[in-house]
Structure 1
Amino acid sequence: MNKKLSGYYQHAYASEVQHFNQCFYCGCEATERDHCPPLHMLQSIIDLGEDAEFISIPACYECFALLHNERLMSVDVRFDKAKKKIAQKYAKPLRVYNMWHESELSDMSDEFAHSIKAGMKLGKEAAERIAFQGFSYVTEQATVTIREKRAEFDVEGTIFYDFKDALNYCIEVVKVDKSAFYTIVVEDCNGDFNRALSQYRHRHNKITTASDGNTLIKSFAKQHKQNSDFVTRTVKHFKNKDPSLSTEAALQQLYQNYIKK
């Protein structure tokens, strides 16, 4: 049955010799053919009359397995999905690779340095697979030219072509906390550095404001010989009634209403 259904697909092959036997999705050695859409879903797709490209393309075993149950109808969409799945699967080594540098290993214990080095190696391989841009290919009916889609990372107008370089710029020049910022840019903002910086600053400013507010409350309580819990609760009460009030204004209101009298 599968052999009969496989006749629906055009077989795609790399146009240039350097890409022979290479996975279209990540650049590793191709050992399988990924069917777009998956062969085991073909009968229902035919029955439903769904549009699809019906192409089989060289893939490594891992990308083939990652895409096996993905009901995606075009090679481009499957390509993007493969990248996301690789990034998810290797999230931890990617973090190690992006966050650590070889120069830092000498300050670690041998065991920890060995662990970090292994993570960096695996993370670098994953990063290279994610950065791979595919290749032009031919089918029985057409030649498909893949134009290089070089990744760009805009950091407030400065363009980088490598995620790690952009991250290091944010750490060294913008002075973000690398651990907190990495989580935001990867998990919350999907590599959008400008959105991540905006979100990071918003969170950081809120923390700073809260910290400054606590300092003001403690100073006020000490100056006027008040219980700090009482001051905190009263300030919170005033700010709940009027969210536009600053901590300083709420303290002034507390003074006028309860202490000055």
Structure 2
Amino acid sequence: MQIKLLKKYYKQGAAKQVENARFCYYCGCEATERDYCPPLQHAELVIQFSESADFICVPACYECFALLHNERVLYLDERVKKLKAKLANKYSKALKVYNMWHESELEDMSPEFSHSITAGMALGHEASQRIEFRPFSLETDDAGSIKPMPRQSFAVAQNTFSSFNEAMTFCCEQYDVNKSKFYDLLVKEYAGDFDRALSQYLHRYSKPQTVDLAKNKIKQFAKQHKQNSDFVARATEQFMKKDTKLDIDGALAKLYQDYIAR
């Protein structure tokens, strides 16, 4: 099917508020392209197999357009999530610099190192703003409207923060975590899940502080499931040695699933 004919299946989405008219729907940069959801090159098969899809075209900057161009993502909300993940991956080094360093630390550095860190912080700050950008409301050529996704929030131990940086600061101050180690754990292994990353960090790097908590959990588990507590302790220790991503809760869950619930 020709591209011209395929385009007829798509609604044309535009910013509902005039102040957003020239911005990228995904990240807030200047829009220079139109992004099709699903991509035009996949539309014919989507139509042929009667798949459900949003079939909408939205304003996008060149980088977002290029990152999403061949992604077979059929819904606009999922396309936003995919783009944010791609930006986070592309600018991971700059984001780490931005989240690791503070301007007050620059004056103690050599000029060369200070220049490098300053450039990384600037790029990381820009990338962070694009990732946290909340898509605006759209109106379509068929008189419909699409409300924006809820603003992203970050939960840490029953506390909610509006930005990644605020949540990181809370963890560093409240739990005295090593910022670099915790950041790597959070981003590389737990995809931004602060509670899971914090639990694993405390297990890996603060064992003396968590040993009593682990013992109590083992005793409670043994009592609840009528198991020998020494057996439970040995089994969870072996699980965590084999899989360093497991914390005590994960090891107990695995023990229950693999041996007790069968």
Which TM bucket (shorter chain)? 0.7 to 0.9
Q: Distance in 1 between matches of 2:29 and 2:79?
A: 16
Give the drift of 1:109.
0.5
Deviations 1:13-70 (A, max 9, x none): 1110110011000000110000011011112222222111111110111111111111
Equivalent pairs: percent with the same residue?
51
* Closer, same or farther: CA 107–16 of 1 in aligned 2, 3 Å: same
* Residue in structure 1 matched with residue 69 of structure 2 by the alignment: 68
Distance 2:58 2:141 in 1: 12
Q: Are 1:55 and 2:65 an aligned pair?
A: no
* Residues 15 and 243 (structure 1), Cα distance of their counterparts in 2 relative to 1, 3 Å cut: closer
Distance 1:148 1:45 in 2: 24
**Distance (Å, rounded) in 2 between the aligned partners of 1:142 and 1:133:** 22
Report SS of the residue matched to 1:12: strand
Describe the superposition over 1:201-248 as per-residue Cα deviations: whole angstroms up to 9, x where unpaired. Answer: 111245999xxxxxxxxxxxxxxxxxxxxxxxxxxxxxxxx948x9xx
Call closer, same or farther: CA 1:72–1:84 in 2, change over 3 Å: same
- Tell me the CA shift for residue 194 of structure 1: 1.4
1:259 maps to what in 2?
A: none
Structure 1 unaligned segments of length 5 or more: list them: 210-241, 247-261
Partner of 1:257: none
Which residue is 2:168 aligned to?
A: 167
Q: Which residue of 1 aligns with 2:247?
A: none
Tell me the equivalent position of 1:152: 153
> Which consecutive unaligned segments of at least 5 residues does structure 2 have?
211-232, 238-262
**8 Å Cα contact 2:77/2:149 also seen in 1:** no
Q: Give the distance between the partners of 1:199 and 1:142, measured in 2 at CA.
A: 49
Aligned match of 1:82: 83
SS of aligned partner of 1:138: strand
Distance in 2 (CA, whole Å) between partners of 1:136 and 1:66 is 22
Cα distance in 2 for residues equivalent to 1:197 and 1:35: 39
The equivalent residue for 1:36 is 37
Runs of 4+ in 1 over 6 A off after TM superposition: none
SS of structure 2 residue aligned to 1:176: coil
TM-score if structure 2 supplies the norm length?
A: 0.76
Q: Distance in 2 between matches of 1:27 and 1:55?
A: 18
Cα separation, 2, equivalents of 1:158 and 1:8: 44
Cα RMSD after superposing both structures: 2.3
* Aligned AA (1:113): S
Whether the aligned pair in 2 keeps the contact of 1:22 and 1:29 (CA below 8 Å) is yes
1:138 aligns with 139
- What is the match of residue 222 of structure 2? none
Classify 1:75/1:42 alpha carbon distance in 2 versus 1 (closer, same or farther; 3 Å). Answer: same
Cα deviation, residue 89, structure 1: 0.5
State the AA in 2 paired with 1:134: P
Deviations 1:115-134 (A, max 9, x none): 00000000000100011111
So what's the TM-score if we normalise by structure 1? 0.77
